[in-house]
Amino acid sequence: MRSKSILTVSVAALALVGCGRNDADTPSADLNTMVTDGAALGNDAAATTGAAPAPTSAQGFANAAAASDRFEIESSRLAAASAQSSAVKSFADTMIKAHTASTTELKTILSGLPNPVTPADAFNPDQQRLMDGLQGKTGAELDQAYAAAQVTAHQATLDTLKAYASAGDTPALKAFANKMIPTVTAHLNTAKGLK
């Protein structure tokens, strides 16, 4: 159950960063990777314990966002190469571009902080499990698995963004999280329509 929780949080962080773009037709998906000062937590934990703590430190938020972007880029590369649906392939291509851009934006913000932060992008156990689950799938089977992961990731990311925007410790990162909320919401809605 702990690894399921970690996965959910990881997905959220990934979506959080990748969805930071404001392009209406640029779907961005992220995997729920929320790491609080190095400890990964998941949205499933929220369901079983009442509330999953979101990272409140700059380092925790940066780690979660970086791992989420990495997961999103790598999972989307699989979908772009092996999915059957043209809509899924298009969404995956958009996710790769959006998450690459959000990684750049995040690093710029982090380097400009009074105490610069270097994000760690290592997958948490849940992200690794999701990647393992996508690998080996092709065609319609991959379409379904990828679409489901995108919905989960975007919802978790939306929850994480709202939490950090409200309670985070770094104003520049809180503004970044707040800016991404409408974009993540739009990408979540797009992901729900993937078939």
> How many domains, the chain?
1
- Of 28 and 116, the one with more pLDDT: 116
- State the Cα–Cα distance between residues 93 and 21, nearest whole angstrom: 14
- Domain hosting residue 159, numbered range: 2-192
Distances (CA, A) of 23 to 19, 171, 183: 9, 23, 7
Confidence of residue 35 (pLDDT cuts 50, 70, 90): very low
Chain-centroid distance, C-alpha 80: 17
Give the domain CATH number at 58: 1.20.1260.10
Pick from 50-59, 86-95, 165-174: least confident: 50-59
Q: Is the pLDDT of residue 81 over 90?
A: yes
- Of 8 and 166, the one with more pLDDT: 166
- Of 114 and 6, the one with more pLDDT: 114
Q: Is the pLDDT of residue 5 over 50?
A: no
pTM reported for the whole predicted model: 0.73
Residues in the chain: 195
Distances (CA, A) of 81 to 14, 51, 96, 131, 134: 20, 37, 12, 14, 12
